[in-house]
Amino acid sequence: MRRILPFARQNRNIKTILAVSVIFSGFFTAPAHAIERVKVEVPVHEYKLDNGLKVLVKQDKRAPIAVVQLWYKVGSSYEHNGSTGLSHVVEHMMFKGTQKYPTGEFNRIIAENGAEDNAFTGQDYTAYYQVIAADRLEVAFELESDRVRNLTLPPAEFKKEIEVVKEERRWRTEDKPTALTREQFEAVAFLNSPYKNPVIGWMADLDAMQVEDLRAWYERWYAPNNATLVVVGDVDPDNVHELAKKYYGPLKPTETIPPPKPQTEVEQKGLRTLKVKAPAELPYVLMGYKVPGMVNAKEKWEPYALEVLAGILDGGNSSRLSKELIRGKEIASSASAWYSGFGRLPDLFSLSGMPTKGEKLETVKVALLEQVEKLKNEPVTAAELARVKAQVIAGEIYERDSQQNQANVLGSLETVGLGYKLADEYVDNILAITPEQIQAVAKKYLIEDTLTIAELDPQPIDPNKPKNAPSFVR
């Protein structure tokens, strides 16, 4: 389904996606890590069209298919109060026709060619993709290039589609207590950073949205010089370049695309807490610290240290949260930690947990905070660090199994402004992290003054039960 896939909020996604390509090239000597590195490099071919469109191509001949993605530099973090959800609604309307291919034609032609097709909107980007038999690549180019500039945005279609988006919002957020908690948590954790905007938009903004708003948004951001085309699969790079010139070449660039306003988050001046009441069975706690990302880190290694730190807490079944909170003390039924340094703007280091039967939410919250303190007070052990690194080394290979993930890495890095070449350095930078560096970022950034804590306060689901008494906080 046309969907939102907020990469920026899925640390594990980015972390696991960031895999470098490989062929056997011998072992590294004297491995400082638990397992041997198998390093392989498959080149990325880079082209730029005269109209500013960037084209990235990576060969993967394992199957006769191609993944074709068009990434735009626009997402919910480009939006403003009162107009949240615009990028995502444009995504929906992208399937509602151009002059050449009226409503329904896009999907019909895609199906006729047996292609898989969809799109996703995140905080920092919107991407449209096809997965298609490699010998039908041209179909994807023809359809996608046509809607870069030629959307018709029919008002009658918009009227129906905005209702679909509202249903999507009800389904995704309003009826899911933990999703609802997360949405409010982000809105409180950020005062003025646009990462406070829900990707799908606030319901009131959807109610008020007009097709003219979409037209203005479309005209402003959807241009070849604001996009990157990524192709991964059984393709010839120069052939892809020729096809790109043929279909995308004639598109006019937009003269000036004013960069988004900085909307730099104001400094947090102390702990923030909130409660979310919703019909639910289980309480839930979600907390987040303000941390730097790749874009603003003064020390280049810090985001990598935070990545590894997240892995120490929650990288697999042997990590600390599983071992100590779910097993060990047996206080949590679930516990997680994540961080992504790959956003356009600085983001959060988050922790969350759900108590197990008979345990209080407070116990889980305290235990999560204790885990943070422990990271500050003691260096992680060599064995723990080796395990996290072993997973990164193996993940580098496993992630190559998915052609789509390979394309996601290139497209997302390029679109947030970090550049796709960062993927080549990722594993090396992770492997260079020391216990002292992990301790240092814990001490520097995981501090109460920049912390936000949200608690889900479950309200009865059974309509015959009385609602919880209102609680007042002084």
Partner 1 sequence: MLKKIVLAQLALWLVVFASFAQAAPKIEHWTTANGLRVYYVPAPELPMLDLRLVFDAGSARDGAKPGLAMLTNSMLDKGATGLSEDQLAEQFEAIGAIFSSSTSKDMATLGLRTITLEQEQKAALDLWLKVIAKPDFPQKDFERVQKLTLVGLQAEKQDPASLGGKAFYQALYGDHPYGQPENGTEETIQALKVDDLKAFYQQHYVAKNGLLAIVGAVDRTQAEALAEQVAGVLPVGEAAAPLPEVKALTAAKTVKIPYPSAQAHILVGQIGNKRGDDDYFTLYMGNQVLGGSGFTSRLMKAVRNDRGLSYSVYSYFGPLAQLGVFEIGLQTKLEQADEALKVVQDVLGKFQQEGPSVEELEASKKDITGGFPLRTANNSQIVDYVGVIGFYHLPLDYLDTFTGKVNALTREQITEAFARRVQPDKMVTVIVGGDEK
Catalytic residues: 91
- Cα angle value 360/364/370 (rounded, 5°): 140
**CB of 464 vs partner 1, minimal distance in Å:** 9
Phi, psi dihedral angles at 235 (to 5 degrees): -130, 160
Binding mask 193-232 for partner 1 (x = CB under 8 A): ----------------------------------------
Q: Rule CB under 8 A: which of 123-142 touch partner 1?
A: 131-134, 136
358 dihedral zone (left: phi>0; alpha: psi -120 to 50; beta):
left
For partner 1, which is the closer residue by CB, 107 or 468? Answer: 107
Amino acid (1-letter code) at residue 380: V
Q: Please give the residues from 143 up to 172 whose contact with partner 1 meets the rule CB under 8 A.
A: 159-168, 170-171
Q: What is Dmax (Cα atoms) for the chain?
A: 68
Which residue in the set 20, 189, 280, 305 belongs to the binding site for partner 1 (CB under 8 A)?
280
| Nearest Cα residue to 376 out of 444, 432, 293, 430 | 444
List the Cα angle 453/180/5 in 5-degree steps. Answer: 105
Distance of closest approach, residue 18 Cβ to partner 1, in angstroms = 15
Classified as helix, coil or strand, 156 is: helix
Q: What is the DSSP pairing of strand 227-233 with strand 65-72?
A: antiparallel
Pick between residue 228 and residue 391 the one whose CB is nearest to partner 1.
391
User: Could you tell me the smallest distance in angstroms from the CB atom of residue 243 to partner 1?
Assistant: 19
Q: How do strand 54-59 and strand 451-459 relate by DSSP bridges?
A: unpaired
Taking the least distance from each CB to partner 1, the nearer of 225 and 371 is 371
Candidates 32, 43, 63, 250; binder of partner 1 (CB under 8 A) is: 63
Q: List binders of partner 1 among 286-325 (CB under 8 A).
A: 315-318, 322-323
> Three-state DSSP class for 216?
helix
When the beta carbons of 159 and 252 are compared against partner 1, the nearer one is 159
Q: Which is nearer to partner 1, 298 or 465 (CB)?
A: 465
Q: Which of 289, 142, 149, 120 is nearest to 219 (CA)?
A: 149
Considering the complex, what minimum distance in angstroms separates the CB of residue 16 from partner 1? 11
Contact, 389 vs 358, CB < 8 A?
no
Instruction: Quote the CA–CA distance of 172 and 157 in Å, as a whole number.
Output: 22
Q: Which of residues 29-48 bind partner 1 (CB under 8 A)?
A: 34-36, 38
Q: Which of residues 385-414 bind partner 1 (CB under 8 A)?
A: 386-387, 390-391, 393-395, 397-398, 400-403
Site string for partner 1, 348-387 (x = CB under 8 A): ------x-xx-------------------------x--xx
